[in-house]
């Protein structure tokens, strides 16, 4: 394995980390309104991901940075060609982060309800958008010999790409429901467990159809059937463990499904990084899109020293905040009153 191939593999691992970790907190945000009965429930749900959501987002920054440094032409073509969907995702992520910070600043139901919608939309848009982007990456786009993308925005909304978007949305919703059941106790745990069991079946159907379509139409390798098989086994395990209310095993099975999906998508891409559907000769490949050997060597040494520190710090964070939460531990609001005269009446 040469350095460009190694960095293609490392970028796939970074996307895997992002989709597993951010996937469940997208799912938690997507389910916040249907699973809550009052404001205390919504604060309980937010608190399950409060200590970790911003750390989870670091993975996409590192993945994007690694793509820029290791495969600058891939980064430039993808981010300019997918500009609109990626811009929507970026706006949604900013809106979601601001909502987490500002929701509790003012003690007013209307204020909180608006930020709750921001969290919901800020979770749904990336969940759908990443599936759309990854599916189009595997399906391929129209490229010029200079590697300029000429596909329009409407071209990105093919049936295959829309099925990819539905797959990530369903997977993240199920992943989030399982995480909520794992991190809470009492009525919220029961509701999240039931939601996970209900979501598992349609998720299996949608994700299974997407995996088979990917293998049959967009993969030139027979070994990626192993990823399809692993995904199928993981999805069956998710159905069985969510119905048995074994949250830990269900979360592990859900992680296996996402890992298999990443292996299938990146395995189908290899040795391309962005196939051209109009002329295969115009495709961006690992070989013609990579940085110099000198750059990749420096990146490899930096990654070898810093990656264990980042993973160790994040693992410690999850260990510190490992306990289950209940509505009883949620403190009263401490935000400012909505208007100055509200304070004088208290």
Q: Write the DSSP string, 132-174.
A: HHHHHHHH-B-B-TT--B---TGGGG-HHHHHHHHHHHHHHHH
Looking at the DSSP bridge assignments, the partners of residue 272 are 285
The whole-number pLDDT of residue 245 equals: 85
Residues 69, 299 contacting (CB under 8 angstroms): yes
Candidates 290, 287, 283; CA nearest to 143 is 283
Q: What is the pLDDT along the chain (346 residues), one digit of tens a residue?
A: 788 889 999 999 999 999 999 899 899 999 999 998 888 889 999 999 988 888 888 888 888 888 898 899 888 888 888 888 889 999 999 999 999 888 888 888 888 889 999 999 999 999 999 999 999 999 988 888 888 888 777 888 899 999 999 999 999 999 999 999 999 988 999 999 999 999 999 999 999 999 999 999 888 888 889 999 999 999 999 999 988 889 899 999 999 999 999 999 999 998 889 888 888 888 889 988 888 889 899 989 988 888 888 888 888 988 888 888 887 777 777 777 776 555 555 5
126 contacts: CB under 8 Å, gap ≥ 6? 22, 26, 89, 92, 93
230 contacts: CB under 8 Å, gap ≥ 6? 256, 259, 260, 263
The whole-number pLDDT of residue 20 equals: 92
pLDDT digits (tens, 9 = 90+) for 188-202: 999 999 999 999 999
The whole-number pLDDT of residue 210 equals: 94
Domain regions of the chain by residue span: 3-192+268-318
Q: Is the peptide bond between 34 and the residue preceding it cis, with omega within 30 degrees of 0?
A: no
CA pair distance 105, 274, nearest whole angstrom: 44
């Amino acid at each position: 394995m040469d350095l460009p191939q190694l960095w293609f593999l490392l970028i796939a691992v970074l996307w895997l980390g992002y989709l597993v970790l951010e996937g469940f907190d997208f799912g938690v945000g997507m389910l916040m309104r249907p699973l809550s009965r009052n404001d205390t429930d919504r604060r309980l749900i937010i608190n399950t991901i409060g200590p970790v959501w911003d750390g989870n987002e670091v993975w996409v920054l590192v993945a994007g940075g690694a793509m820029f440094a290791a495969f600058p032409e891939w980064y430039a073509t993808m981010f300019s060609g997918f500009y609109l969907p990626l811009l929507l995702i970026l706006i949604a992520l900013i809106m979601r982060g601001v909502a987490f910070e500002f929701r509790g600043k003012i003690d007013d139901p209307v204020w909180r309800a608006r930020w709750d919608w921001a969290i919901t939309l800020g979770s749904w848009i990336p969940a759908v958008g990443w599936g759309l982007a990854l599916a189009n990456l595997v399906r391929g786009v129209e490229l010029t010999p200079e590697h300029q993308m000429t596909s329009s925005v409407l071209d990105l909304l093919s049936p295959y790409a829309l099925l990819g978007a539905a797959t990530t949305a369903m997977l993240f919703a199920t992943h989030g429901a399982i995480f909520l059941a794992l991190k809470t106790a009492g009525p919220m745990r029961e509701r999240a467990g039931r939601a996970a069991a209900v979501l598992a079946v349609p998720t299996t159907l949608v994700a299974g159809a997407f995996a088979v379509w990917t293998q049959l139409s967009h993969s030139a390798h027979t070994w990626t059937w192993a990823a399809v098989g692993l995904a199928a086994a993981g999805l069956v395990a998710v159905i069985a463990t969510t119905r048995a209310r074994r949250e830990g095993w269900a979360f592990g099975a859900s992680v296996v499904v996402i890992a298999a999906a990443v292996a299938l998508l990146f395995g189908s891409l290899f040795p391309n990084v962005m196939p051209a559907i109009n002329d295969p000769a115009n495709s961006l490949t690992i070989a013609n899109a990579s940085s110099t050997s000198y750059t990749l060597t420096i990146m490899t040494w930096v990654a070898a020293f810093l990656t264990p520190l980042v993973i160790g710090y994040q693992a410690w964070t999850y260990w510190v905040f490992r306990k289950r939460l209940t509505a009883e531990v949620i403190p009263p609001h401490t935000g400012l009153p909505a208007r100055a005269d509200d304070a004088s009446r208290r």
